Amino acid sequence: MSENAELSPTDWVREQTQRILEQGTTDGVEILDRPVVLFTTLGAKSGKKRYVPLMRVEENGSYAMVASKGGDPKHPSWYHNVKANPSVTVQDGTQVFEGTARELEGDERAHWWDLAVAAYPPYAEYQTKTSRQIPVFIVEPAG
């Protein structure tokens, strides 16, 4: 773990992240029997690295970050970090790469939302719990 990285204050997120860091892979770390990917973001105010394990939604080497927060009325804290600092590290299995995140809109968002719901069906239910449109980012490999 990077010395200036901070683990989540949320128990289950912290435990998942610690497992990934100890194992060196996201393999075998799941939510409801679905695979996860570990994203590393930079804090908007602190500048510290933040670990964010999210559902694995991948297409052609790019990954989605779905800011669902379980259908909460507010965005997850990492949403604001990614908006401020779109440089994100992605770990899928043992593969790690640097990427750039951008928030999706329109048809592109609809496509990735469909991929996200296929990868993790509870996302559809989460959307019904909140009046905000759940943001979807795509993280594409840098360069």
Predicted confidence band of residue 73 (pLDDT cuts 50, 70, 90): very high
Q: How much is the pLDDT for 4?
A: 66
Whether 99 is in a domain gets the answer: yes
Residue range 14-24: mean pLDDT, rounded: 93
CATH of the domain at 27: 2.30.110.10
Whether 2 is in a domain gets the answer: no
Whether 96 is in a domain gets the answer: yes
The whole-angstrom distance between residue 140's C-alpha and the CA centroid of its chain comes to: 13
Q: How much is the pLDDT for 1?
A: 47
Whether 5 is in a domain gets the answer: no
Angstrom CA distances, 51 to 41, 54, 61, 124, 132, stand at 7, 10, 20, 24, 24
Domain range for residue 124? 11-141
Q: Number of structural domains, the chain?
A: 1
Residue range 23-44: mean pLDDT, rounded: 92
Whether 4 is in a domain gets the answer: no
Percent over 70 (pLDDT), the chain: 97
Whether 119 is in a domain gets the answer: yes
* Token pair 């435990």 in the structure block, residue: 15
Round to whole Å and give the CA distance between 114 and 109.
Answer: 9
Whether 1 is in a domain gets the answer: no
**Do 131 and 91 meet the contact criterion of CB atoms below 8 Å apart?**
no
